[in-house]
Amino acid sequence: MTTIRVARPDDIPGLVRYPDDAERNTATSTYLTDLLAKRCTRTEWCLVAEDSDTLIGAVALWTMPGNDVPSDVVLVEAPWDDPELTVGLALLTEAANLARKLGATEQGHVVDSPAQAPQFQRHPEQRAELLRRAGFAVARDGRRFRWLAGGELPAHDGRLRFRSLTELGPGPFIDLLEALLADTADALLAADVREHGLRKAAELLFEESTEFAHEPQWWEIGYDADGTPAVISLPAHSPAFPVISFVGVAPAHRGKGYSTSVVARGTRILAENGATEIRGDCDAANIAMVKGFERAGYHNFADRMEFSRPL
């Protein structure tokens, strides 16, 4: 008989162990140890499925460091050879119940391909089917990019004059985000606009971006030669990596190659502050940003399907 329960201290950090997948076991244990240390999860947020004293499935709630309300689930594992996906569904049901009790109103999950550290999400077809049955829907078909130190930094664009958050304050940043969201190719951001309206969606995007570790002087607006705001650059550190957390080009200035310029600007700032690996994501439909990352020296190392469900 399978039991779903909260993980005990002796279950942590290994959770489900695969005898023939030592690379995955090591990476997952290291990842969970890091999440616990950064308060992205808690032991009481980790759920396991146990059958005859053997762990056969797991899931953990996740949030940005220190938040008390979980936003996502990670480390989803279940018997993938079960066509009914019974254990996985039971785990995700309990994950929804627990998150709801903690104040969450929606829940997200991402699946990266190809399978890679730290979660090694093998069996992508079964994972997608499990999420569908559990009430998740695709929120964004994304692309993941990575820049590694070792070569030349991407060039500075002399056409742009940059002013920082320290100098400007948040108002101009939210104004520019509002202009960007009025014509965005990003599915997640477009959904926020439909739900909240332009101004509120811009305010929420700025507020959510502040959860990433950053220095105010890193965040900048780049002004065109005519004096109007052209680009916004919000480089930061996620719980795992330095990231291009958000960049965008104002609609009036698109078609000038500024997507590359703004990715390059954030890259230079992070690299000058010690970053040796930088990551960034964008919607696959946002062709300009895909090209911007590529032309700034980034490599598309993975695809990321982002899922969400209401609670």
As given in the structure block, the two tokens for residue 140 are 């964004």
Rounded (10°) CA dihedral 249, 262, 215, 164 = -70
- Residues 6 or more apart whose CB falls under 8 angstroms from that of 1 comprise 51
Place of tokens 């990670």: 74
Quick one: CA dihedral 68, 144, 220, 171, positive or negative? negative
CATH numbers and ranges of domains, the chain:
2-135 (3.40.630.30), 161-310 (3.40.630.30)
Rounded distance, CA 96 to CA 175, Å? 35
Q: Is 296 exposed, middle or buried (0-12, 13-18, 19+ CB in 10 A)?
A: buried
Residue type, 136: F
Res 116: pLDDT: 93
Per-residue pLDDT at 40: 97
Looking at this protein, which amino acid is placed at residue 7? A
Write down the pLDDT at residue 304.
Answer: 97
Structure tokens at 50: 């146990």
Residue type, 256: K
Instruction: Kindly state the tokens that stand for 259.
Output: 């997507």
pTM confidence score: 0.93
Q: Whole-angstrom Cα distance, residue 204 to residue 74?
A: 23
Average pLDDT over residues 197-225: 97
Cα 14 to chain center, whole Å? 23
Q: Are strands 46-51 and 54-62 parallel, antiparallel or unpaired?
A: antiparallel
pLDDT tens sequence across 57-86: 999 999 999 899 999 999 999 999 999 999
Mean pLDDT, residues 22-39: 95
Residue 232 tokens read as 């916004």
Contact yes or no for 7/48 (Cβ under 8 A): yes
C-alpha 145: how far from its chain's center?
12
Q: What is the pLDDT of residue 152?
A: 81
3-state helix, strand, coil in the chain (%, to 5): 35, 30, 35
Q: What are the tens digits of pLDDT across the range 271-296?
A: 999 999 999 999 999 999 999 999 99
Whether 151 has a pLDDT exceeding 90, the answer reads: no
